[in-house]
C-alpha cells in the first residue's frame, strides 16, 4: 500500500473521529441514560469521560483499518495505539495546564483541543506507519484492550480522583446511581 492511500485513510479516520466523537458527547442523554450506551459515551463533564470521545471512535477506525491496511503495514496497530495514547495525553496535559493557568475551563478551548488531539493522533500514526518503526502487535492489542476495560469499568465504578470528577455536579461517574 502506498503512502497516499495510508494518508487518505488517516484523513478519513480523522474526519470520522471528529464527527463520531462529537456525537458521543450527547448519546448518553439522547438514549435516556442507557446503561449500555454509558460504556462508550460521556456520562458527565469530567476529563476522563471526554477521553471516551477520542478513544472509542479511534478504536473503531483502528479495527476497520486493521482489515483494510494492516496486511500492508506491519506496524499499523502500534502506530494507531501510539496515536490514541498521544491524543489522550494531549487532552489531559493541555486541559490541566490551561485551566491551571487561567483558573477555569473554556468550552471553545476544550472543543478545539479535542480536534487538535484527533489531528495530532492521526498525523503521528501516519508518520509511524510510513516509517521503519517496529513494534509488537500483540502488546498493542493487549494495551488497547486494557484501556477499553478501564473506560468501561471506571464508568460504573469511578475512582474518586480529579480526572474523574465532573466539574458541573462535583460528583464522579454516572450521576444517577445505577447500582440501586
pLDDT single digits (tens) 91-134: 999 999 999 999 999 999 999 999 999 999 999 999 999 998 89
pLDDT at residue 70, as a whole number: 74
Placement of cell 493522533 in the chain: 121
pLDDT score of 28 more than 90: yes
pLDDT score of 180 more than 50: no
Placement of cell 477499553 in the chain: 148
Q: pLDDT grade, residue 175 (50/70/90)?
A: low
Q: pLDDT grade, residue 139 (50/70/90)?
A: very high
Residue range 18-41: mean pLDDT, rounded: 94
Out of 10-19, 88-97, 138-147, 165-174, pick the least confident: 165-174
Closest CA to 141 of 48, 62, 47: 62
Indicate the length of the chain as a whole number. 180
pLDDT at residue 158, as a whole number: 92
* pLDDT, mean over the chain: 92
d(CA 101, CA 27): 32
d(CA 38, CA 9): 29
Go through 35-69 and write b for each residue having 16 or more CB atoms within 10 A of its CB, e for each that does not.
Answer: eebbbbbbbbbbbbbbbbbbbbbbbebbeebbeeb
Cell readout for 25 is 458527547
Closest CA to 111 of 91, 137, 138: 91
pLDDT score of 173 more than 90: no
d(CA 66, CA 60): 10
pLDDT score of 51 more than 70: yes
Contact 133, 147 (CB under 8 A): no
d(CA 39, CA 48): 12
Residue range 161-174: mean pLDDT, rounded: 89
pLDDT at residue 178, as a whole number: 44
* Residue 172 φ then ψ, to 5°: -125, 140
pLDDT score of 177 more than 60: no
Single pTM value for the model: 0.90
pLDDT at residue 174, as a whole number: 84
pLDDT at residue 44, as a whole number: 92
Q: CA end-to-end span of the chain, whole Å?
A: 53
d(CA 135, CA 155): 31
Amino acid at each position: 500500500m502506498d503512502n497516499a492511500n495510508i494518508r487518505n485513510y488517516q484523513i478519513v479516520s480523522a474526519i470520522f473521529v471528529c464527527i463520531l466523537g462529537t456525537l458521543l458527547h450527547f448519546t448518553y442523554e439522547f438514549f435516556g441514560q442507557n446503561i449500555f450506551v454509558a460504556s462508550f459515551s460521556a456520562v458527565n463533564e469530567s476529563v476522563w469521560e471526554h477521553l471516551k470521545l477520542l478513544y472509542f471512535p479511534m478504536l473503531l477506525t483502528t479495527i476497520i483499518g486493521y482489515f483494510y491496511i494492516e496486511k500492508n503495514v506491519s506496524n499499523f496497530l502500534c502506530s494507531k495505539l501510539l496515536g490514541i495514547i498521544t491524543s489522550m495525553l494531549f487532552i489531559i496535559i493541555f486541559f490541566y495546564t490551561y485551566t491551571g493557568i487561567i483558573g477555569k475551563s473554556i468550552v471553545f478551548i476544550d472543543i478545539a483541543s479535542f480536534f487538535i488531539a484527533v489531528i495530532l493522533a492521526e498525523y503521528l500514526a501516519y508518520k509511524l506507519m510510513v516509517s521503519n518503526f517496529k513494534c509488537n502487535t500483540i502488546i498493542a492489542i493487549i494495551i488497547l484492550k486494557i484501556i477499553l476495560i478501564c473506560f468501561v469499568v471506571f464508568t460504573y465504578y469511578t475512582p474518586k480522583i480529579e480526572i474523574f470528577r465532573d466539574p458541573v455536579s462535583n460528583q464522579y461517574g454516572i450521576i444517577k446511581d445505577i447500582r440501586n
